[in-house]
Amino acid sequence: MKKLLALSIFVLMLMFLAACGGEDTSSNDDNVNDEDTKENSGEDNGEWTPSESIEVVAPAGAGGGWDTTARMSAQVLTEEGLIDQDMGVVNKEGAGGAMGWAYMAEQEGSNHNLFVSSSPILLVPLNGQSEYGHEDFTPIANVIADYGAFAVAKDAKWDNLNELFEDMKEDPQSVTIVGTSAPGSMDHIQFVRFAKAAGVDITKIKYVSAPDAGGVTQVLNGSADVFSTGVAEVAEQVRADKLKVLAVTSEERLDGEVLSTFPTAKEQGIDETFVNWRGFFGPKDMDPAAVEYYENKFKELSDSEAFANVRSNYGWNEMYMGSEEYKQFLDEEKENLKSILEELGLLE
């Protein structure tokens, strides 16, 4: 009996040890599977993070507002350690941004492609020059506010915006306006809005496009009278005493040694402003977790001292909007621009 009892106890111990060993194996397998899932999804502790380098597209040539915003943002994001992956900026220029947007449309569903844009992504589709608009992409965050300027040659007969508009009220086509963007896009529309507020017949305004940054040259050689552009594009020419700025489109005067000398249209009695917002988008169907990741990173960018210095250097103002607020802003701004284009006969 004693031998039988000892054998029974021995068998029970073996069964217990086997059961324990089976549980441990199952637990280890589950841990391995969890780690594999996290690695494959690019997640860390439940949050999405980029698993490869990030391509940032500037849908224009080097040196302009889109290019500068893309490059300075990418530089600060990487140098400040806000994003660990490399961020390469590429230029996809042509058709007022439409070539870059067509390229981005091909990246649908990607979490590693971004692009910078501004008002033309609303205006260009409205005037029929692009099949892609902001609805075809994923708004992520707006990061800055830039402003326009209306500049003339240093020896031009106009010393303020009212003098210019008085001449244009009498004969709108006697004055040639030049801008970098196409007719019906940003440089054209920002000037039209102020002319309309001053009582000029905007349907008769003579606007020409100089897409290769030739606006300054045309004003200086007399083939155009007024350069409608961004403040950063004329600051150096003013400093060199070649151009003078009749007005900027901001609510108040801008900060900076040169920029603070530029008068606003409002202080000249013209009740109008125009902000050139610039922000970042992703392709259509970007993963919501990736959108949240980039949205947070651009907020950190906007709040950083390093990017505050960038804004100061370029005369930009802070204008952060997260994804949902940005989308609502874009929808409303598009409706506002429709009426101007319709009046000009440029709405498709």
- Cα angle, residue 313 at apex, residues 308 and 315 outer, rounded to 5°: 90
Give the pLDDT score at 42.
Answer: 52
In a domain, 70, yes or no: yes
Residue 138's identity, in one-letter code, is: T
Question: In which band, very low, low, confident or very high, does the pLDDT at 41 lie, cut at 50, 70 and 90?
Answer: very low
Sign of the Cα pseudo-torsion (15, 19, 24, 26, in order): positive
Would you say the pTM of this structure is higher than 0.85?
no
CA distance 279 to 298: 9
Question: In which band, very low, low, confident or very high, does the pLDDT at 232 lie, cut at 50, 70 and 90?
Answer: confident
Q: For the segment 146-161, what is each residue's pLDDT rounded down to a tens digit? A: 999 999 999 999 999 9
Tokens of residue 94, six digits: 């042509």
Burial class for 316, CB neighbours closer than 10 Å (0-12, 13-18, 19+): buried
C-beta separation of 278 from 314 below 8 A: no
In a domain, 269, yes or no: yes
CA distance 60 to 37: 39
Beta bridge partners of 278: 144
Do residues 330 and 259 share a domain? no
CATH number, domain with residue 179: 3.40.190.10
Residues comprising the chain, all counted: 348
- Using DSSP's 3-state secondary structure scheme, residue 208 falls into strand
Nearest to 90 by CA among 69, 118, 70: 70
C-beta separation of 221 from 243 below 8 A: no
Q: Is the pLDDT of residue 20 over 60?
A: no
In a domain, 23, yes or no: no
Q: Please, what is the average pLDDT of the chain?
A: 89
More confident residue, 295 or 214: 295
CA distance 212 to 91: 14
Do residues 244 and 293 share a domain? no
Q: Determine which of 7-16, 73-82, 243-252 has the lowest per-residue pLDDT on average.
A: 7-16
Give the pLDDT score at 19.
Answer: 47
Q: For the segment 285-307, what is each residue's pLDDT rounded down to a tens digit? A: 999 999 999 999 999 999 999 99
Question: In which band, very low, low, confident or very high, does the pLDDT at 45 lie, cut at 50, 70 and 90?
Answer: low
C-beta separation of 67 from 61 below 8 A: yes
Q: Of 244, 275, 306, at which residue does a domain stop?
A: 275
CA dihedral angle for residue 320, residue 326, residue 332, residue 333, rounded to 10 degrees: 60
Report CA-CA distances (Å) from 251 to 4, 70, 99, 255, 315. 98, 25, 33, 12, 14
Q: For the segment 112-165, what is each residue's pLDDT rounded down to a tens digit? A: 999 999 999 999 999 999 999 999 999 999 999 999 999 999 999 999 999 999
Report CA-CA distances (Å) from 145 to 13, 249, 278. 75, 11, 6
What are the φ and ψ backbone dihedral angles of 229, each rounded to 5 degrees? Answer: -160, -165
Do residues 268 and 296 share a domain? no
State the DSSP string of 221-287: HTS-SEEEEEGGGTHHHHHTTSEEEEEE-SSSPPPSTTGGGSPBSGGGT-----EEEEEEEE-TT--
Q: For the segment 168-196, what is each residue's pLDDT rounded down to a tens digit? A: 999 999 999 999 888 999 999 999 999 99
Distance, first Cα to last Cα, the chain: 101
Q: Is the pLDDT of residue 3 over 80?
A: no
Do residues 109 and 120 share a domain? yes
Do residues 314 and 251 share a domain? no
Do residues 248 and 105 share a domain? no
Give the pLDDT score at 126.
Answer: 95
Rounded percentage of the chain residues whose pLDDT exceeds 90: 78
Question: In which band, very low, low, confident or very high, does the pLDDT at 314 lie, cut at 50, 70 and 90?
Answer: confident
Q: In the chain, how many domains are there?
A: 2
Nearest to 140 by CA among 41, 42, 287, 306: 287
Do residues 131 and 90 share a domain? yes
Do residues 228 and 339 share a domain? no
CATH number, domain with residue 120: 3.40.190.150
Domain that holds residue 160: 147-275
